[in-house]
Amino acid sequence: MSSKKKKKSSFLKILSLAILISEGDLHGYALYKKIIYHTHMKWVPSIGTVYRVLNEMAREGLIEKKVMGRKSVYKITSKGIEYYIENSIASVTKITGILATTLNAYLNIMVEKPGIINEELRERLEILYNVLLKYKSKKLIKGS
């Protein structure tokens, strides 16, 4: 597998685990639709790639695969949670810093151009705000 494909596969693995942790058990196609939503269709893996990664993670014990009729439902395991933590923390830390700086820039621009935020960004900021409120309520961030 090429280095570029390996990186995308690793990203897909981390994103899939994050979605399963956040959303709970999902069947493969529902997970695929969540991936498309979260990547804003800027990167759309093939459905075959998604199932290949899901089967690989099931073999590795990161997720459980339960066949229910014609669909398979995937569930995160404790090993999957540990893998997610170990393999995502560095990139999450980096992305969080970039996101904070970018959002602060938008706040500064909004003083001059209040209509700069489109509806889709506003919706995603609302989701982010609610996640941050959960962190604050659990006293995981300062100011609680």
- Reported for 30-34, long-range contacts at CB under 8 A and 24+ positions apart, including other chains, are 31/74
> For a pLDDT cut of 70, what percent of the chain falls above it?
90
Average pLDDT, the chain: 86
Query: Which tens digits make up the pLDDT trace of 88-119?
Result: 988 888 888 888 888 888 888 888 887 888 88
pLDDT of residue 58: 97
Q: Does domain 3-79 have CATH number 1.10.10.10?
A: yes
Per the model's pLDDT, the better-predicted residue between 142 and 16 turns out to be 16
List the chain domain ranges. 3-79, 89-137
Q: Give the pLDDT of residue 3.
A: 54
- CA-closest candidate to residue 74, choices 17, 34, 9: 17
Residues 60-87: tens digit of each pLDDT: 999 999 998 999 999 999 999 999 999 9
Please give the pLDDT value at position 21: 96
**Phi-psi region for residue 19, left (φ > 0), alpha (ψ -120 to 50) or beta?**
alpha
